[in-house]
Amino acid sequence: MNKTVNINLAGIFFHIDEDAYIKLQGYLEAIKRSLANSQGSDEIIADIEARIAELFNERVQNNKQVIGLTQVDEVITIMGQPEDYVVDDEIFEDEPQSQHKQKTSTKKKLFRDADNAYISGVSSGLAHYFGIDAIWVRLAWILLVFGAGTGVLLYILLWILVPEAKTTAEKIMMTGEPVNISNIEKKIKDGFDNVSQAAKTVSDSVSKAAKNVDFKKSSNSIKSTTSTFFDGLADVVSMLFKIFSKFIGIILIIIGATTLIALIIGLFSVSVAEIIHIPGLEHLDIINVGNTPIWLVALSIFFAVGIPFFFLFYLGLKILINNLKSIGNIAKFTLLGVWIISIIILVIFGIRQASEHAFNESHVSKTELPIAATDTLTVKMAHSDKFNSSYRHDDFKLARDENGNKILYSSDIRVMVKSTTDDLASISVIKSADGRSFDTAMARAKNIDYDFELTNNTLLLDAFLTTDIQNKFSDQEVEIILYLPETSVVYFNSNTEDFIYHKAHDGHLISSKNTSHFMKILDNNSNCLDCPEIETDEDFEIEVDTPQIKIDSKGIKVDSEEIKININSDGINIQSNE
């Protein structure tokens, strides 16, 4: 049985075996002593501890796992032995003395290099990753922006998805070097050296300026002024680009937030629809022919539309706030999974809805009317104020019948007239509806309620159809065909105009322009008995600018050097002069 110790390493809590703890503590103490007189030793130690904590995290499966000697030895192997420093031999007396320094290699990781950034460090990070100069990456961005037009979107995506190299260990991994003690110390000392070199350069420049006032100084001054001008110009361009990016960020936040708020309100409205009556929401259940749960569809729409706009909102925040904390890979992949599941549910819902319109079936009922060949029939539409059926439309509305029950009604009614050789007239009522099968479509067609009434040679046709709300909206419609004996006369009231086809076709003898006129039914034809006659001159002639062509009441003549054409009542005569 081994004793365990709880430690806090770089702000991360670990359970560690006592023997492993003693070895790790000695390892860190040896490094501290070796760096005691080094510049930036505290920062080097902090980065080393952060790197060790990161390596421990990679090797534990859960928060309760205990770190043992094996994991400590692996970490020490990666970080390297502090043999180049003054270290007590007693601390590592159980370590075998190696004759050569073990080399470790680390794969490059993609980070944003903020230290060498113009905007966000994406170009510098890509340059480190591919081992090229950053100028070539920046030129590639310019070509993508002004050439293909996809550069801005791709840059923004990389800005969001690629993390910034903040710690010394991440900056080392960005270049592909092994993250060990030597490289961490070298990286930090390089930073101090750069600062010292910059300070020394400024000091030398000031001293030379005070001692050397000559032509060479003037030349250097001109060069410095030119360099300062271009640096200032670059700063101005960079500032303008940043202002533009901030403006884009604000727009993205407004669009994302507005859409998310609207989706939340819509989802809340659907959720409380059964408790609080919200006008219009009852139509959702009527068009839901596949009987998919409304709450599931609403939730899927919320996630399918909301998640992309959430990332749009997050992108706007990322542009405005440079140090905005990432939501983490777990949250990103979770949202991606939820989004994919929502899309799948919506696709299934769409397929179910489409399948409910796979079949269209009709139910026909034919009734004989006591209208003979010598009679005159008047046809009118019986409108209803309750159903608002003054005009034909193929959509649906909700209403209540005399008993207060909810019903669907529609004005999708068509009226046709055909001739018949029978002695008496007849009327056919064709009710049709859609369904996922023949039986379903036929049942919905039979459940359509439609009435007509014949009184004193006046036929009253309902201008609407009704059906029970349980039948859903399945493209229900009614077509009326009047079979009238030849030589009978029919008069369509003006209120039937919207329910009659605009043109006569397929044996249909009456068009909408024939309403308010007495029409005599002939063999597959009709004749208007009270339409005004159109007066035309028997002889006429049309002047044409081309002298070879003559158009008059007798026909058309074309007389040219090559050909002669004569079109008249006798037919078409074409003669060639060649």
pLDDT tens, residue order, the chain (578 aa):
677 778 887 778 787 887 788 888 888 888 777 766 666 667 777 777 787 877 877 777 666 678 888 888 887 777 776 654 443 444 344 444 444 444 444 567 788 887 777 777 888 888 888 878 878 887 777 777 666 556 677 777 778 777 887 776 677 777 766 655 555 555 555 555 554 555 555 455 545 554 554 544 545 555 555 566 666 777 777 777 777 877 888 888 888 888 888 888 888 777 666 555 555 556 666 776 767 777 788 888 999 999 999 988 888 888 776 666 777 788 888 999 999 999 999 898 888 888 888 888 999 999 999 999 999 999 998 877 666 555 666 667 777 777 777 788 888 889 999 999 888 999 999 999 988 889 988 998 999 999 999 999 999 998 888 888 887 888 889 999 999 998 999 999 988 888 888 776 667 888 888 888 999 998 888 888 888 765 545 555 555 555 567 777 677 777 777 777 778 777 777 777 65
The confidence score (pLDDT) of residue 277 equals 57
Q: Looking at residue 412, what DSSP letter applies?
A: -
- 390 and 348 fall within a common domain: no
Considering only CA atoms, which of 63, 60, 97 is closest in space to residue 81?
97
Residues in a beta bridge with 381 = 461
- 291 and 382 fall within a common domain: no
Q: Looking at residue 164, what DSSP letter applies?
A: B
3-class secondary structure per residue, 65-97: CEECHHHHHHHHHHHCCCCCCCCCCCCCCCCCC
Is 278 a member of any domain?
Answer: yes
Domain span at 396: 362-528
Report the distance separating Cα 15 and Cα 8, nearest Å: 9
269 half-sphere exposure, CB direction, 13 A CA radius: 14
Is 494 a member of any domain?
Answer: yes
The confidence score (pLDDT) of residue 553 equals 67
- 463 and 498 fall within a common domain: yes
Q: Which residues fall within 8 angstroms of residue 554, CB to CB, at 6 or more apart?
A: 568, 569
Q: Which residues fall within 8 angstroms of residue 228, CB to CB, at 6 or more apart?
A: none
- 431 and 447 fall within a common domain: yes
Instruction: With beta carbons less than 8 A apart as the criterion, state whether 419 and 497 touch.
Output: no
The confidence score (pLDDT) of residue 431 equals 93
- 514 and 570 fall within a common domain: no
Domain boundary, last residue among 312, 328, 355: 355
- 420 and 499 fall within a common domain: yes
- 299 and 380 fall within a common domain: no
- 404 and 496 fall within a common domain: yes
The confidence score (pLDDT) of residue 215 equals 44
Instruction: Count other Cβ atoms within 10 Å, centred on residue 130.
Output: 12
**Number of folded domains that form the chain:** 4
- 311 and 333 fall within a common domain: yes
Is 429 a member of any domain?
Answer: yes
Is 206 a member of any domain?
Answer: no
- 256 and 331 fall within a common domain: yes
Report the distance separating Cα 215 and Cα 211, nearest Å: 13
Is 274 a member of any domain?
Answer: yes
Entry pTM? 0.48
Q: Which residues of 319-357 are buried (b: 16+ CB within 10 A; e: fewer)?
A: bbeeeeeeeeeeeeeebeebbeebeebbeebeeebeebe
Q: Looking at residue 147, what DSSP letter applies?
A: I
Is 226 a member of any domain?
Answer: no
Residues in a beta bridge with 418 = 483
Q: Is 140 exposed, middle or buried (0-12, 13-18, 19+ CB in 10 A)?
A: middle
Domain boundary, last residue among 56, 79, 102: 79
